[in-house]
Amino acid sequence: MSLFEQIGYLISNYGTYFIQGLLATLVLAIVGTLVGLFLGIFLALLRNIKVVENDSFIRKALKIIGRIFATIHIEVWRGIPMMVQAMLVFFGGAAIGISWSSLGFSSFFNGYMICGLFVITVNTSAYMAEIVRSGMNGVEEGQMEAARSLGMTYMQTVWNVIIPQALKNSLPTIGNEFIVNIKDSSVLNVIGLTELYASVSAATNRNYFQIAGYIIVALIYLVLTLCTSLLIRWLSKDKKNGSSNPFSVKHDASAKGEVK
Amino acid sequence: MKKGKLILFTTLLVSLAMPLTSCDSSSELTIVQFEQSILGDSQKDLSVSIGVEKDSVLTDDLNSVLAEITTDTRNTIMTQATERSTSLEQIQGDDSDKVLTEAPYDETKQDLIIGMEANYAPFNWTETSPTSYTYPLFDKTGEYADGYDVQIAKMCADELGYNLIIKKFTWDALIPALNTGEINMIIAGMTDTEERRLSIDFTDPYYTSELVLIVSANSDLANMTDLSELSGKKVVSQIQTVTDDVIEDILVPDYGAIHESALKTFASCATAVQTGVADAMTAEYPVAVSIVSGTSY
């Protein structure tokens, strides 16, 4: 069989494996990125927390503990490869009595999937925390001062003024994290999760058409990541033109002379 | 401008795709057999056993079940499994009553959870649809395990009166899975070795095979008469297997072979030999038969 015939054979006989793998990869990447972003915002807030002179002793202690927790969480989960984390969480968890397989509630959201979702979410939250934090640091301090002098509390300012701008500024980086998650979810096959990468070994375990199999998944990954980058590019362009930021209004279309 | 970009892009794509059309990924492989005595002491290691937890109560029961399976029965099961694993068309089997789409579950019985790779034909592999030989894989939609190991697992569970559950794990995750209680035993074409006995126990062997080499059919090694021809040739096998230890312990020191770094699956090793990344691979005979006929299409 030629390579093209092999690709055809794999698609017609094992197409369902690739589709199931694709679904698993998408769920891992989407849930991991969104929930990770949500957790990351809280971690960024914790890490950015400032101890003020006139705080009570308990308040000060809580703030410091929160900051230390966030710092340790971020450094530990960013500093270890996800493959190692997956092995430690799955088998380490089983060793101390967390039975991942009993946490599964359907054949798709089985124990491996739950564990995989946990690992990718917590791992992403560490990266997201740093992304959101640098986005927050990018917002001028004057805005915080202005909002506070208008009578908004610290938390109100953060939620309504700082975070929305921080998220908008870091949209390309967040999108990048989603692309990274699409690709990196492949390492979760070590705990028995059949995602897109692992679907090749399931599809070729009897016919050994490995090269053909990997060409198929390479193309699927490429389509996924290309679509994501296009989406992100479109989203961030839209946001830029619609914003009231005076620095971002007139610099693209008219300057290049490509007005339609 | 846009048109220019499009032309450039298309040319780039076509030039990237060109090598693919000429890519010869279906180069034929062949088996080279040799005198097993060269293996010395490790010759006895070429049998596979069931892995169980340290001091498991299951060991004696399993040994008595295995003792009842005669060598003839074993060979028949292996021959049939090899036949099924090498056929491009799925072999359904005659007994349609035995086709299981879901693992049967009896409340009154205890569970017997077995771990395997389901990626090591003909010992164990994955099918897309059930036949009278397959058993549904735990928590995997549309994946059914078949192979010699599956038939042995069915016999053990039936004889001892357990609910059979088969879980799929990658090769290097099997022993951690057994040690952490994810599974109760490993039936995965695993050989009883000293190193593995440090963390798990084994039953008596349930299949004994022969070590062979797989080489490209049009290479010099295909007509090899003496193992010394391996001198300077790259030999590969799957990571953490006895067939990989043989390269390190015998083929490298005694015959001057080069030990290629071990790969994750036997399928990857087969691809390595086909593409010339390695000159030869070591495998057990039934696996070699599967690989050689599997890659001949």
Q: What is the mean pLDDT of residues A144-168?
A: 91
Most confident of A215-229, B33-47, B209-223, B273-287: A215-229
Average pLDDT over residues A88-104: 85
Q: Which of B163, B188, B208 is the last residue of a domain?
A: B208
Per residue in B76-130, pLDDT (tens digit) is 999 999 999 888 888 888 777 788 888 888 899 999 999 999 988 899 999 988 9
Choosing from B183, B208, B233, the residue where a domain stops is B208
Q: Assess if residue B6 is contained within a domain.
A: no
Task: Kindly state whether residue A81 falls inside one of the protein's structural domains.
Answer: yes
DSSP code per residue over chain A:
--HHHHHHHHHHHHHHHHHHHHHHHHHHHHHHHHHHHHHHHHHHHHHH----TTS-HHHHHHHHHHHHHHHHHHHHHHHS-HHHHHHIIIIIHHHTT--HHHH--SSSS-HHHHHHHHHHHHHHHHHHHHHHHHHHHTS-HHHHHHHHHTT--HHHHIIIIIHHHHHHHTHHHHHHHHHHHHHHGGGGGGGT---HHHHHHHHHTTT--HHHHHHHHHHHHHHHHHHHHHHHHHHHHHHHHHS--TTSSSSSHHHHT---
What CATH number should be reported for the domain holding residue B253? 3.40.190.10
What per-residue confidence (pLDDT) applies to A101?
78
* Residue B85 included in any domain: yes
Q: What is the CATH number of the domain that holds A13?
A: 1.10.3720.10
Work out the minimum CA distance from A174 to partner chain B, whole angstroms: 28
Query: Residue B13: inside a domain, yes or no?
Result: no
Q: Does residue B35 lie within any of the structural domains? A: yes
A111 in contact with B, Cβ within 8 Å: yes
Specify if A10 maps to a domain. yes
Q: Clarify whether residues B280 and B164 are in a common domain.
A: no
Q: Does residue B103 share a domain with residue B185?
A: yes
Residue B225 pLDDT: 86
- Cross-chain residue pair A87–B21, CB shorter than 8 Å: no
The band of A257, judged by pLDDT with boundaries at 50, 70 and 90, is very low
* Domain boundaries, position B171: 47-208
Q: What is the mean pLDDT of residues A12-27?
A: 93
What residues of A are in contact with residue B119 (Cβ under 8 Å)? 201-202, 205
- Whether residues B275 and A6 touch (CB distance < 8 A) is answered with no
B43-75: per-residue pLDDT in tens? 556 789 999 999 999 999 999 999 999 999 999
- Residue A260 falls inside a structural domain: no
Confidence category of residue A250, pLDDT binned at 50, 70, 90? very low
Cβ burial of A210 (10 Å; 0-12, 13-18, 19+) is: buried
Question: Domain range for residue A242?
Answer: 3-254
Q: Give the Cα separation of B221 and B29 in Å (integer).
A: 11
Q: Which residue of A has its CA nearest to B177?
A: A91
Distance in angstroms (rounded) separating the CA atoms of residues A161 and A146 = 10
Query: Tell me, what's the pLDDT at A41?
Result: 95
A206 to chain B, any CB pair closer than 8 A? The answer is: yes
Classify residue B4: in a domain, yes or no. Answer: no
Task: For residue A110, give how far its alpha carbon lies from the nearest alpha carbon of chain B (Å).
Answer: 6
Q: Which helix (H) or strand (E) holds B243?
A: helix B242-246
Residues B205-209 have a mean pLDDT of 90
Instruction: Give me the pLDDT at residue B22, please.
Output: 55
Q: Is residue A87 less than 8 Å (CB to CB) from chain B?
A: yes
Nearest Cα to Cα of residue B93 among B135, B47, B141: B135
Q: Are residues B288 and B184 in the same domain?
A: no
Q: Please state the rounded mean pLDDT for residues B204-210.
A: 90
Domain count for chain B: 2
Query: Which of A143-147, A154-158, B97-101, B211-215 is predicted least confidently?
Result: B97-101
B1 lies in some domain = no
Domain assignment present for residue A259? The answer is: no
Number of domains in chain A: 1
Asked if the Cβ–Cβ distance from A207 to B294 is below 8 Å, we say yes
pLDDT tens for each residue of A224-246: 999 999 998 888 776 555 554 44
- Residue A251 banded pLDDT, cuts 50, 70, 90: very low
Q: Which of B151, B183, B208 is the last residue of a domain?
A: B208
CB A25 within 8 A of CB A185: yes
- Same domain as B158, residue B279: no
Do residue B199 and residue B54 come from a single domain?
yes
Does a structural domain hold residue B183? yes
Q: Does ipTM top 0.85?
A: no
How confident is the model over B30-45, as pLDDT tens digits?
Answer: 999 888 877 776 655 6
Window from A45-59, A87-101, B29-43, B152-166 with minimum mean pLDDT: B29-43
Tally Cβ neighbours within 10 Å of residue A219. 11
Tell me, yes or no, whether B262 lies in a domain. yes
Strand, helix or coil at B225? coil
Q: What is the pLDDT of residue B44?
A: 55
Residue B245 CA to residue A150 CA, distance in Å, equals: 74
Subunit contact B118:A202, Cβ cutoff 8 A = yes
| Residues of chain B found within 8 Å of residue A111, distances taken between Cβ atoms | 139
* pLDDT (0 to 100) of residue B18: 67
| Neighboring chain A residues of B267 at a CB cutoff of 8 Å | 201, 204-205, 208, 210
- Residue A51 belongs to a domain: yes
Residue A231 lies in a domain: yes
To the nearest whole Å, the CA of B121 is away from the closest chain A CA by 7
- pLDDT of residue A218 exceeding 90, the answer is yes
Q: What is the pLDDT of residues A33-60, one digit of tens each?
A: 999 999 999 999 999 888 888 888 999 9
A108 touches chain B (CB under 8 A): yes
Stretch B173-183: mean pLDDT? 91
Question: For residue A249, is pLDDT > 60?
Answer: no
Is residue B188 within 8 Å of B117, Cβ to Cβ?
yes
Residues of A in contact with B20 (CB under 8 A): 3, 215
Chain A, residues 44-83, CB within 8 A of chain B, namely none
Q: Which residues of B touch A9 (CB under 8 A)?
A: 88
pTM equals: 0.80
- Residues from chain A that touch B121, judged by Cβ atoms under 8 A, are 205-206
Q: What residues in A contact B128, CB-CB < 8 Å?
A: 13-14, 16-17
Distance from CA of B125 to the nearest CA of A (A): 6
Residue A185, classified by CB atoms within 10 Å of its CB into exposed (0-12), middle (13-18) or buried (19+), is buried
In a mutational test of the B interface, the residue from A27, A101, A102, A208 whose CB has the highest number of chain B CBs within 10 Å is A208
